[in-house]
Each structure stands twice: as C-alpha cells, then as structure tokens.
Amino acid sequence: METAAFPEEVLSIGPVEIRPHGGLVTLNQRTLTLSVREFTLLVEIARRAGRIVSRAELYTLVWGAPLRAGDRSVDVYIHKLRVKLEDGAPGWAFIHTHVGFGYRFAPEPSHPFHNTATSR
Amino acid sequence: METAAFPEEVLSIGPVEIRPHGGLVTLNQRTLTLSVREFTLLVEIARRAGRIVSRAELYTLVWGAPLRAGDRSVDVYIHKLRVKLEDGAPGWAFIHTHVGFGYRFAPEPSHPFHNTATSR
DNA sequence: ACGGCTTCTTCACAGGTCGTTCACGGCGAG
DNA sequence: CTCGCCGTGAACGACCTGTGAAGAAGCCGT
C-alpha cells in the first residue's frame, strides 16, 4: 500500500524474520510477541548473526550505556529470547554461548539426540 | 502506486469485510453498526493488517492531529471495536496488543487449546 | 427551539506486563 | 576442592493497558 516512508529492512535468518522498524518478528510464519527489550536485543544480535558478540557490546547497543560489573541483564534477556524462539520452533537452536566471550546468533537445527520429553 | 482507489475498495480479512467508501462492515455476513470514529479506526488499522501500528500513528490517521501525551482515546476505541467484533464472531481474536509498540489487526481463531503467545 | 438519544472525551481504578536485581545451582578449569 | 561463569526461577516496583462510568457535545425529528 502507500506505506513508503521507511527502508523496509528485513532480517531473514533461518525460520526467523525480523522487521527492525516494524517491531515485528515472525517464526515459521507465526508472529511472536516480544517486549521492547527482548525485541531490541534480538535485532542487535541478529544484525551480527554468525559472529560472537560480547555482553559489553550487546549492553551498549541495547541499553545505551556501558555494562557495569556484575550486571546480568544481558544473560537474563538472552534466556528469555531463547525460550520464546525455541518454543516457537522446536528442534532449533538460535543463540549459542561462547564461554568467556559472549553470544552468537545462528539458527541451526539442534541435534537429534535430544529426548522429546520435556520433563522437569 | 494505485492512485485512485475507486469506491469499490473492499478489505476482506478473515470473517470481516470492510467497505471503506461505503461505511459498511460485515462480520460473518451480518452487518455491524459502528460509530464514525469506530469505523475510521477499523479501516485504518485494517488497511495495515498484519503490521504493528503505533498509537501515535493511529491517532494521526483517525483524529488528524498528533497524539498528546496521556491521551487514551485510541485504547478506548480499540476496546470498543474488540467488543463489537468479538461479540459478532465468538472464538476469534482480531486486534492484538504489542506492549510498548502498538496494536496489530489480524483476525485469528482464538485457540481454546494449546496455549500460546498470550504470555511474555 | 426543545427534548431524547447517540457519540466522543476524559477519569479513575483494576489488572497485567516489563525491566532489574537476587539467589541458588550446575559446570568446567585449574 | 575452589573459583569463576552461566542458566534459570522468582521477587518487586514502575510502567502500560483494559474497562466501566460520568459528562459534555452533537444529531434528529418534531
């Protein structure tokens, strides 16, 4: 339609599709609901898909301030994103941890050895 | 660019059918009675179906002026629309809230089973 | 002009969601 | 074993949205 006003940027990676300017994320065609923080974090790490991004960099990108020692916000939000993403696309791994370095966004089918029974 | 949208423009989404130039809305073949504001708001958000539209944008589109801080008019009318729409088509969800972003028009059957996205 | 009814705004309160911070527990390296 | 790093669930106050109601304003037929 007569939208025309924004550079319709679209990040399409694996089953994920992100519209940074539309606030929308779809997983397997299904739109998922993210909070503002979750969305911003996803956008930033997804824009750097394939590379390891440090917590400090992610924090600066999303929170707009330098990461303070002991702050675990990034970890908490990475976890929230993992839950929503993996919940919407079972069998896929999206965000990988690199101990001591940071996180890396790279949607990949997870290994088939995983027991389907999600007990806890 | 489809300049002149002739008077026969019809928005048909799910069980809803809207004639922006006819002032008519039908839900499951039955016609709905909406006030001018309700109708205009529905037309604007429906024209952007599937996308998240911010309150500011909706206000500008419908009220023709910039949204003032603290104004809840959009919320109130979204509520009125939801009541009428869901009342005329039980089991369907039409307007979805995206906290911090705005509203998204997308008629979907509200799954009674298999919980989903409603929560964070 | 006048009453009666509908529509539009604005409030106020209730209920939900979000962002931040703790706390506890598992893991792997040294 | 001890320590540092990360995963995860929960607590809480701040903020955001849902909703019923009160009043003012606008419309209409008479």
A71-85, A91-105, B3-17: least confidently modelled range = B3-17
Residues of A in contact with B50 (CB under 8 A): 31
Task: Give the CA B19 to C1' D11 distance in Å.
Answer: 50
DSSP string, A23-86: TEEEETTEE----HHHHHHHHHHHHTTTSEE-HHHHHHHHHSSPPPTT--HHHHHHHHHHHHHH
Is residue A76's beta carbon less than 7 angstroms from any atom in nucleic acid strand C? Answer: yes
Any CB–CB contact under 8 A between A23 and chain B?
A: yes
- From residue A85, give the alpha-carbon distance in Å to each of A92, B35, B105: 8, 40, 22
Give me the residues of A, 24-43, that contact B with CB < 8 A. 24, 31-33, 35-36, 39
Residues of A in contact with B95 (CB under 8 A): none
| Amino acid A116: pLDDT | 42
Whether the pLDDT of residue B1 is over 70: the answer is no
Size of interface A-B (CB pairs under 8 A): 30
A46/A58 Cα distance (integer angstroms) = 11
Average pLDDT for residues A27-41, to the nearest whole number?
97
Please name the residue ranges forming H helices in B5-115: 36-47, 55-63, 73-88
pLDDT digits 0-9 by tens, B52-62: 999 999 999 99
Structural domains in chain A plus CATH codes: 11-109 (1.10.10.10)
pLDDT digits 0-9 by tens, B95-108: 999 999 999 999 99
| Amino acid B9: pLDDT | 86
Measured N-to-C along each axis, helices A55-63 and A36-47 cross at an angle, to the nearest 10 degrees, of: 130
Q: For strand D, which nucleotides have at least one atom less than 7 Å from a protein CB?
A: 5-10, 16-21
Q: Which of B103, B84, B86 is nearest to B37 (CA)?
A: B84
Q: Which of A76, A91, A83, A111 is nearest to A28 (CA)?
A: A91
